[in-house]
Structure 1
């Protein structure tokens, strides 16, 4: 059983995320506020558990109604659609997260709707329940006015395709379950197709960089404990093993993003304890 190596005080960690990371994001996003008729689109990447969702909530409170924030996680394909993908392409697509498991067309339609919204217009925003691993009832947003900024956050925002990846040796035990490379090939095709079209919609990117993939695994263990309402470090052996397997689906692209194979943008380095170099203390 792998133990969580992070500080077991979640309140302190949350405070760090909400202050240092949010304080680093806020001036970058303020500079993106549009004075024109169409809101700007800013995409934020960051590995699982880095704190991007928590920090973004704090930033949105500071920006007020001029800014709207979305998460790509709410645009996962329904469980039944991922099951079909798993049956037709590769069984590993039953697990959400990799390119190909998002409804990118719905996401682009939603972003366009937000950019062109008129006062009083109602826009349906999808929601995804990670507990149920399926879509939940959407949120209906009534627009008081057209926003100045729309922010989309997600772990893989701006990732570049690599057509040679399906031919590479497996990085981990999950990729070893894809000896033909079909799972990886479909992901690369999606990155070079629908996801590239999504990235083209962005006016700018902000990348939150973790120290490395090993840190991401520790963060994800802590995140799972929080989701289940448990104290950090108290996951059962079965729960820990599930997270360890789950995160391996993300390793190749996480390391690709951290190596700079992505759309250009501003970069914020985040330490293992989620503090930000240069932040005021």
Structure 2
């Protein structure tokens, strides 16, 4: 992937803030296929630090099935806010600076948590995930479906309002632990399905192209909102072209005094 460039990793590392708490948490957000994992691995190699993915915090199938039965059937599908063990994420981040720790790992092939990975205490943690930093939306925005998935499978808006409430509650506390957030900005949501199809093919995954294109619809609402708003609150926004090449790097400006 073109995003895998030492220059970008070095630029980000050079801008890490000076903080006293351990670990310093560097967040990397961006749509599926944007290159988060590749960039995270590059930074982790340069600093010999661990990586935690938001995906590693997925709830197990039983917990997601319970949500599907009690809240909305769409919550059986992993991915959106509400399908992660946020409390464990916060706990492992806080414990990482004190001693060896078992980091959670998720086995996507089984759609279940995998064996934990024992890591050494660290001063820096790279935390990557598609919706890191995402903000809840206004009620007026939630009322209108953004795609066929929301129109046909969530006509009353129960699923999207539950997801939004998770962003406003437990996920807000998790994201607040991030000391610096980098956002990899796709040129538009329309490219995300192509990137995710490519990712699935390269990995030899089980999903067909059509299945992947249906799957990414779960992420459209939040992804599009982040593309609009993240440059206002992400510390660094890296704008990508269709080949994932960085074409602009923007740092968030401090608000005007007064």
Q: TM-score normalized by structure 1?
A: 0.82
Please, which moves more after superposition, 24-33 or 217-226?
A: 24-33
In structure 2, the CA distance between the partners of 1:259 and 1:33, relative to structure 1 (3 Å rule), is closer
Q: Distance in 2 between matches of 1:174 and 1:209?
A: 23
Q: Distance in 2 between matches of 1:160 and 1:167?
A: 13
| Structure 2 SS opposite 1:277 | strand
Give the CA deviation at 1:81. 0.7
Q: Distance in 1 between matches of 2:16 and 2:248?
A: 22
Structure 2 gaps, min length 5: 250-258
Who is 2:234 aligned against? 264
Who is 2:3 aligned against? 17
Q: Distance in 2 between matches of 1:213 and 1:102?
A: 23
Give the CA deviation at 1:163. 3.9
Taking only aligned residues, the RMSD between alpha carbons, in angstroms, comes to: 2.1
Aligned residues: 247
In structure 2, the CA distance between the partners of 1:79 and 1:266, relative to structure 1 (3 Å rule), is same
Give the CA deviation at 1:33. 6.8
Who is 2:122 aligned against? 147
| Structure 2 SS opposite 1:211 | coil
Give the CA deviation at 1:152. 0.5
Who is 1:31 aligned against? 15
| Structure 2 SS opposite 1:45 | strand
Q: TM-score normalized by structure 2?
A: 0.89
In structure 2, the CA distance between the partners of 1:278 and 1:107, relative to structure 1 (3 Å rule), is closer
Q: With CA pairs under 8 Å and 6+ residues apart, which has the higher RCO, 1 or 2?
A: 1
1:215 to 2:197 alignment? no
Who is 1:83 aligned against? 65
Who is 2:91 aligned against? 109
Q: What whole-Å deviation, never above 9, does each CA across 1:142-194 have from its counterpart, x for those lacking one?
A: x2xx4222121100000000141674221111101101111011111100000
Structure 1 gaps, min length 5: 1-13, 230-234
| Higher Rg of the two aligned structures | 1
